[in-house]
Structure 1
Amino acid sequence: MPRVLIAGMGDVGILTAIHLSRHVSVVGVSAKPELVTGQELGVRLARPDDWARDNRVAFERYRRLDGVRRVHGSLTGLDLDAREVTVRLSDGSLAAEAYDVLVVSTGVTNGFWRNPDVQSREEIDAAIQSHHRTVADARSVIVIGGGAAAVSAAANLRIRWPHKVIDLYYPGDRALPQHHPRAWEQVRGRLVDIGVGLHPGHRAVVPDGFTCDEITHQPVQWSTGQPAGEADAVVWAVGRVRPNTGWLPASLLDENGFVKVGPTLQTPARPELFAIGDVAATDPLRSSARNRADRLLAKNIRAYLAGRPLKDYRPSDFRWGSVLGVQDDGLLFFASDGRTIQIPAWAIHRVLLPWVVRRGFYRGVRNA
């Protein structure tokens, strides 16, 4: 039976493995012993237990992963001709894993909440609780950045602790520049209503050598000329993503280190190599994970192995989905054209999560 090796078992890697698990032999390599998503930063900081219920899930809970062999470690190298990857296991030893098809879904490093480090469950616990305690103990918080992660952080911190001073600083005239303009108008109204201070036109000076991977306390300088910003805690969500591709040959990467792929999600140089998610240079937004290309990828892999034609991935023009996360009144969902849908809380907990997500997308998730 052909062997498909999935490098990176984040959300899109898991979904791809689930689609393939009954058709080919699947091996998944993950730096974590469980799914730890980079989504919903604000809920993670403000309500880590609520966040963990659907964004931190043990691999053993996914029924369709029962037949998938999982390797806990970090990828250190790739031999294209031998069709083999090298993995440094969690105990420090090295292992080689062969493949017939390789899927690169190793994602990106972004701030303190998305990293490629090999971690145990205890280390993941400690990091999440440490970040939560830092913002919980702060009387004032500055959030820097204009993307969904920054907006989510500012909103959820203010909702969780309405007595805190929460300020959002972003470089453009509006935040959420990758969403439809109508989405920002809706979110801006909510931020104003709950008392988040909005500061457009502020571009932060990132200190030399600082990778934005921790919550800081020092004053923030602005290259746009405003007086320094001060708060007890500074959350850096400036979008300085770094692809986790140091283990790949340079011939597979574009000038920014992302994996070059064609419309079928295959690499141009090696048809047996596919890439998906934030690490894949599919389009300017690298939107294949959010646009549910995992199903297309699985079909294309099976077609490649059978010698059949493959289908193309078609990205959307704007980001879509949730920005603020699930709140007491439900979920505000943004379509790619900026239209909003308010999903009530009862529908999320009784229908969307148990039936659409856990049963439909993941084909069954066992109770924790």
Structure 2
Amino acid sequence: MTRPRVVVAGLGDSGLLTAIHLARHADVVGISSKPGLVSGQELGMRLARPDEWADQYWNTFDRYRRLDKVRTVHGTLTSLDLEGREVAVTLPDGSAQLETYDVLVIATGASNGFWRRPHVQSVDEIEADLLDAHERLADAGSVVVIGGGAAAVSSALHLKTRWPAMRVDLHFPGDRALPHHHPRVWSHVRGRLTDAGVGLHPGHRAVVPDGFELDRITEGPVAWSTGQEPTNADAVLWTIGRLKPNSGWLPGELLDEDGFVAVLPTLQAPGRPEVFAIGDIASTDPLRASARSRADHLLARNIRAHLAGRRLDSFKPPGARWGSVLGPHRNRLEVFAPSGQRFTIPAWPTLQPWVVRRAIYKGIRR
């Protein structure tokens, strides 16, 4: 009996895990603009300690044991033929390739700053990017971090911890940062930032220069639309959450008005039961929570159920964001529940290989 073919378009965090879950049950083809997983997680650690970050969050695909049965394609997705059930890919050498599918998983994510971009890169280019951003900040005596999300607060804390003499100021537009988390989370994180010496500046909304794509670290001054005087800094880190869905290769009938993939609670596209979406590209809820709520397990089960003609389960997004906010810090990891309750995992560097490499990814070669 011929095994079904599943094409996973995008091998970021969610797409990679989905491919791993399905590798034993279907012929899986994974398409990625990178030659490995370049995670969008833990920006602060990536900027301050890129070697440690890369050890945990940047791995070429050949290191994942469960991908041994997955065929990976390195290239850019250019189009989708829904009727013909095939996607077009442009390879790094400029040649074109078509991949057919029985089931398509759209997991191409969203662009958000210089650390999450969809363009094709080689191993050398990725590692050069990591080093360039780190060295740019290492040479700065003062850094302004703009934004109120987890990437912003994590970056501010990690930069200040890595370079204590550096002046680090966090500017955010509301009364508090982390507005999509439970208020208890900001109460705790604010104390951590203050204790570290990070300057906190609520009520500051930056003026984004015309045509600026948030694709690089800049320098001051920064102008504020909220009436404050411009702020000077040697380096300005823009983490303002302007997500742009990587959906230019998709037909409009799959997209909502903001360019994200419209999905049912089963993570299927309306009217296209063979098309699924997960991660930041999927319009599951206002926070697109499938990217951070481990919906990859549910998606893999639903794909198998769809192929077998069984009933599918529904994704139920949490009411607030949850998980790690500050990332690994000082030998421990703090995780917050949707209720704001905090859990501390001590000795994280020792536990990480067991939790992440073995339990989550089912084995990563050294």
Residue 119 (structure 2) aligned to one of 90, 104, 117: 117
AA of the residue aligned to 1:86 = A
Equivalence for 1:172: 174
Equivalence for 1:256: 258
In the TM superposition, residue 354 of structure 1 has moved relative to its aligned partner by 2.2
1:3 is the counterpart of 2:5: yes
Residue 135 (structure 1) aligned to one of 134, 137, 143: 137
Equivalent residues of 1:29, 1:70 under 8 A apart: yes
Q: Distance in 2 between matches of 1:289 and 1:176?
A: 17
AA of the residue aligned to 1:314 = K
Q: Distance in 2 between matches of 1:364 and 1:45?
A: 26
Q: Distance in 2 between matches of 1:361 and 1:37?
A: 14
1:234 is the counterpart of 2:233: no
Equivalent residues of 2:332, 2:349 under 8 A apart: no
Equivalence for 1:209: 211
Equivalence for 1:198: 200
Q: What SS class does the counterpart of residue 272 from structure 1 fall into? A: strand
The TM-score with structure 2 as length reference comes to 0.98
Q: What SS class does the counterpart of residue 288 from structure 1 fall into? A: helix
Equivalence for 1:181: 183
**Which ranges of 4 or more aligned residues in structure 1 deviate by more than 3 Å?**
none
Q: Distance in 2 between matches of 1:153 and 1:350?
A: 23
Equivalence for 1:350: 350
Equivalent residues of 1:142, 1:169 under 8 A apart: yes
In the TM superposition, residue 341 of structure 1 has moved relative to its aligned partner by 1.2
Deviations 1:111-139 (A, max 9, x none): 00000000000111111111111100000
AA of the residue aligned to 1:167 = D
AA of the residue aligned to 2:176 = R
Equivalence for 1:74: 76
AA of the residue aligned to 1:321 = G
Q: Distance in 1 between matches of 2:238 and 2:349?
A: 31
Equivalence for 2:165: 163
Equivalent residues of 1:252, 1:269 under 8 A apart: no
1:327 is the counterpart of 2:329: yes
In the TM superposition, residue 350 of structure 1 has moved relative to its aligned partner by 2.8
In the TM superposition, residue 358 of structure 1 has moved relative to its aligned partner by 1.5
1:246 is the counterpart of 2:245: no
Q: Distance in 1 between matches of 2:114 and 2:48?
A: 15
In the TM superposition, residue 363 of structure 1 has moved relative to its aligned partner by 1.3
**Aligned ranges 1:259-274 → 2 under 5 Å:** 259-274=261-276
Q: Distance in 2 between matches of 1:313 and 1:302?
A: 15
Equivalence for 1:42: 44
Q: What SS class does the counterpart of residue 151 from structure 1 fall into? A: helix
The TM-score with structure 1 as length reference comes to 0.98
Q: Which runs of 5+ in 1 are unaligned?
A: none
Q: Distance in 2 between matches of 1:355 and 1:344?
A: 14
AA of the residue aligned to 1:350 = T
Equivalent residues of 2:331, 2:349 under 8 A apart: no
Equivalence for 2:55: 53
Q: Distance in 1 between matches of 2:79 and 2:64?
A: 28
Q: What SS class does the counterpart of residue 204 from structure 1 fall into? A: coil
Equivalence for 2:287: 285
Equivalence for 1:85: 87
In the TM superposition, residue 329 of structure 1 has moved relative to its aligned partner by 3.8
Q: What SS class does the counterpart of residue 70 from structure 1 fall into? A: strand
1:306 is the counterpart of 2:308: yes
Q: Distance in 2 between matches of 1:56 and 1:107?
A: 17
AA of the residue aligned to 1:273 = V
Equivalent residues of 2:8, 2:104 under 8 A apart: yes
Q: Distance in 1 between matches of 2:130 and 2:358?
A: 27
